[in-house]
Amino acid sequence: MKLCSEVKDEMNRFEMMFLNEMRECIFQKPIPSMIIGGVVTGPFNKGDRVSFPNWVIERLMKHDLVDIVPEDAYDSLRRLQNLYRAEEKQPHKLQTFQPFLYTALSRKVIRLQSDRTSIDPRKYDEIEKLQSMVPFLAETRLSKILRVAKSGAYQEKRNQMAYEERWLCEQLIDLLSGWRQNIME
């Protein structure tokens, strides 16, 4: 069993799922028609709201053509700060996380870091805050995921977890079940 390569494979799978997930964005400037996946789409005016896969949105955001609509911006610093505070205040309660939260945050940091030529101090500050909050969230969530796996409450709690957390919890359940079975024999 090669758990390390399996983990990387699973994380890559979640990233691909995220990149193909549809989110709504708002055009920040008018643009003529464009070809996306071999299909001509557009033209678009400033303020137009359109749903695209995340991989398209990332390319458009790189050129400051779109912003994600606020209700779909689950990877925003403000939302992450709210999750961070909620996790701090209620360390034993499993807060509801958006299924693609970790992948979206990872992709956002990569996107922010990739623009080294025009990056302003606010973006550096945002990168630093994101990078400092994610490990705390992961660690606090880990103990909660362990409790869920151990208690058998996975089915009722799974919709509150990000996809990476669901996968981890399922792995832990299998591991704990096998361990318990071997100990009892």
Q: What is the DSSP letter of 47?
A: T
Give the confidence band of 171 by pLDDT, cuts at 50, 70, 90.
Answer: very high
Q: Could you give the angle at which helices 121-151 and 101-114 cross, rounded to 10 degrees? A: 160
What is the band of 185 on the pLDDT scale with cuts at 50, 70, 90? confident
User: Residue 185 carries which DSSP code?
Assistant: -
- Any bridge partners for residue 50, and if so which? 25
Query: DSSP code of 76?
Result: S
C-alpha to C-alpha distance for 68 and 74, rounded to whole angstroms: 9
Does residue 5 lie in a domain region?
no
Strand partners, 67: 26
Q: Domain ends where: 6, 37, 72?
A: 72
Q: Are residues 25 and 92 in the same domain?
A: no
Structure tokens belonging to residue 100: 């693609």
Q: What pLDDT sits at residue 5?
A: 63
pTM of the complete model: 0.83
d(CA 153, CA 110): 35
- 3-state class of 115 per DSSP? coil
Q: State whether 131 and 48 are in the same domain.
A: no
pLDDT in tens, 39-82: 899 899 999 999 999 999 999 998 889 999 999 998 888 888 88
Taking the CB of residue 82, how many other CB atoms lie within 10 A of it? 12
16-25, 77-86, 119-128: segment of lowest average pLDDT = 119-128
64: containing domain: 21-72
Same domain, 100 and 157: yes
Mean pLDDT throughout 12-19?
95
Tokens encoding 85: 């505070």
Residue 125 and residue 47 in one domain: no
Neighbours of 84 (CB within 10 A): 18
